[in-house]
Structure 1
Amino acid sequence: MTGDSEDPNADVQYHLEVSEADVADTVLLPGNPERLEKIVDHWDDHEIRAHHREYRTATGSYEGTPISVTSTGIGSPSAAIAVEELARVGSETFIRVGSCGALQEDMDVGDLVISTGGVRQEGTSDEYVREDYPATADYEVVAALVAAAERLGYDYHTGITMSADSFYAGQGRPGYDEFEAAGADELVDQLVEANVKNIEMEASAIFTLANIYGLRAGAVCSVYANRQTGEFRTEGESRAAETATLATHLLAKMDEIKHEAGAERWHPGLSLSE
């Protein structure tokens, strides 16, 4: 039996070191802890609430809407820990804000990809549920992200994302000393043929856990590379952060309108007009 300091169900969460008072209902989930500062630049105010291991958490507001951000580090295992512990302290909506490699030739570096679902190439979600369980983004979160990208005038794409557990071999790249994993030479072509839009490393696990727990999740990623054209630039990071921030505000408005209309879910009959 573990001691209280190691109890993952304690009021202050073991890995994130946050409590219920530290986080808002909606949390943005970048991988890189350094991305936190770029995200909060779009907010009206913020306060750092915790920093432990790869997990940095800040909470503030945007246009009167409470909002939090927690970095997750690289990969689905640590992202799943973040979702688990944030859910335990009351957060209900999660938006991954990241970078990705685009798969379709018409996707430019700097564009945004708003995920509607995920190919579960990562292994973390397999620890939770059978492999044929779908990893789907919440349609309200997708709608809010699309509305935000439209209002901001950013180029975006929607569709299926593949989440991998490896940046190199698992994404069809050569490993050390030109090592190639089995099937690596066919992976990208197969994904392109299936109209998968992009590759990253966390979205499908976040979607799966959110669906299991009855929570909402989505993802918006900046295209850093196009795997067909070979183009690579670290561009568009701020666009993803701004889009996710505005989407959080729009989700809050959607929830308010739903409540006033007595509707359980957002639908086209409800208006988000200013």
Structure 2
Amino acid sequence: MACDCDYILPTMDGWEQHYQNCSTVWFKEYGSEPPKNTDGSIRLRNKHLSRLHYDVLYHLGLDTENYDLPAMFGDVKFVCMGGTKYRMKEFAKYIAKVLKIPDEGLVNLTKHSHRYAMYKVGPVLSVNHGIGIPSMTILLQEVIKLLSYAKAKDPLIFRIGTSGGLNIPSGSVVVSSWGLNGTLKKSYDIPVMGKIMEIPSIFDKRLNQELLYLASKEEKFSTYTGGTMAADDFYQGQARLDGPFCDYTESDKLCFLNTLVEMGVKNIEMEATAFAAFTREAGVRAADVCVTLVNRLEQDQVTPSKSVLLEWQERPMMIIGKYISKYCEKLSSVH
């Protein structure tokens, strides 16, 4: 197997030589054919899909019969996902400015589904995934199929969002290196036909190194890398004291959070494990980039003003915007 890495930034000292989905890495780790075609498009490894006359992407309001998906989405290189419809529309406007593309008339391409909102700006899809793993994985799996049917070449998927920080200043950004579930395992555990399937939740190290390099140029805030705990609940699942139910003490909470810190966890949110697991399974490069709104070792409530929170939420956008801009600069220099 030859290296087929689609490098965005040139390799620097100490960086990984390959992306996680490089064919050489994939064959060495799994001993099997990589989940992408020679042109870089995603090869879906579900044989049952070939038996369908056409595939309905129900939650996106799209299908393979009535829509020309290659014409609509074949040029997509980046998918940026986040929780709210508002945030992802704002990201679409932001990336349009970065790429100098007019943003007038942004159209929600999934409006017929009444579920999610998705906007396209040049090679970038900006789409919201709701809150929590179930909502996110429904969207993510249909986006992966969409990219495959559209024959998008070597796509990357970013999740940008908010989180609670652990022992780092509020307003800091965390680029996740791995996801940790509620039982403190680095995996996404999903019940399938009565049995638990454990899928490793590890992010692409080389991609993270590239993002951290660009983030290091920012002077307004600090960026960290480390583990991210993905909880299945906002309150007890994150050891909060401010939910409607709580049968543990503040001392219990701090002991648990300090255990996470000792493990290398930098923040807590509600999607990282499944996001890392499913993108890795699909052979798609991905990164989870979140700003922290509170230091959970100090308090549970998010208290900064709305204007401060809005400014903080732009920080992951800035890092991803720089990365996408680097790709477009590289592309224009080739042409």
Displacement of 1:18 in angstroms is 4.1
Task: Indicate the SS of the match to 1:239.
Answer: helix
Match of 1:73 among 112, 121, 130: 130
Displacement of 1:251 in angstroms is 5.1
What aligned pairs does 1:51-200 form with structure 2 within 5 A after superposition?
Answer: 51=111, 52-61=113-122, 66-90=123-147, 92-104=155-167, 107-121=168-182, 125-127=189-191, 130-131=197-198, 133-153=199-219, 154-174=221-241, 176-180=243-247, 186-200=255-269
| Conserved 8 A contact 2:236-2:245 | no
Deviation track 1:129-170 (CA, whole Å, cap 9, x = no partner) reads 743x42111124313321331344442111111001100010
Q: Does 1:15 align with 2:59?
A: yes
Cα separation, 1, equivalents of 2:77 and 2:61: 17
Q: 1:255 to 1:166 in 2, by over 3 A?
A: farther
Cα separation, 2, equivalents of 1:111 and 1:84: 29
Cα separation, 2, equivalents of 1:220 and 1:200: 11
Q: 1:82 to 1:251 in 2, by over 3 A?
A: farther
Match of 1:40 among 85, 88, 92: 92
Task: Indicate the SS of the match to 2:84.
Answer: coil
Cα separation, 1, equivalents of 2:55 and 2:324: 26
Cα separation, 1, equivalents of 2:144 and 2:298: 40
Cα separation, 1, equivalents of 2:181 and 2:243: 25
Identity of aligned residues (%): 26
Displacement of 1:254 in angstroms is 7.6
Deviating more after overlay: 151-160 vs 191-200: 151-160
Q: 1:155 to 1:144 in 2, by over 3 A?
A: same
Question: Where does residue 32 of structure 2 map in the other structure?
Answer: none
Q: 1:68 to 1:177 in 2, by over 3 A?
A: closer
Q: Does 1:25 align with 2:92?
A: no
| Conserved 8 A contact 1:80-1:124 | no
Cα separation, 2, equivalents of 1:256 and 1:135: 34
AA aligned opposite 1:222:
V
Displacement of 1:229 in angstroms is 2.3
Task: Indicate the SS of the match to 2:320.
Answer: helix
Deviation track 1:160-191 (CA, whole Å, cap 9, x = no partner) reads 11001100010001365442369756431221
Question: Where does residue 4 of structure 2 map in the other structure?
Answer: none
Q: 1:111 to 1:175 in 2, by over 3 A?
A: closer
AA aligned opposite 2:228:
T
Deviating more after overlay: 158-167 vs 242-251: 242-251
Task: Indicate the SS of the match to 1:228.
Answer: coil
Cα separation, 2, equivalents of 1:141 and 1:252: 16
Cα separation, 1, equivalents of 2:125 and 2:315: 17
Task: Indicate the SS of the match to 2:110.
Answer: strand
Aligned positions, number: 244
| Conserved 8 A contact 1:27-1:67 | yes
| Conserved 8 A contact 2:188-2:274 | yes
User: Which of 1 and 2 has greater Rg?
Assistant: 2
Q: 1:191 to 1:84 in 2, by over 3 A?
A: same
Cα separation, 2, equivalents of 1:149 and 1:18: 36
Displacement of 1:14 in angstroms is 0.5
| Conserved 8 A contact 1:11-1:89 | no
AA aligned opposite 1:60:
V
Cα separation, 2, equivalents of 1:125 and 1:53: 29
Q: 1:228 to 1:181 in 2, by over 3 A?
A: closer
| Conserved 8 A contact 1:149-1:243 | yes
Deviation track 1:224-273 (CA, whole Å, cap 9, x = no partner) reads 0111122733351011112122223435678999xx9xxxxxxxxxxxxx
Q: 1:137 to 1:73 in 2, by over 3 A?
A: same
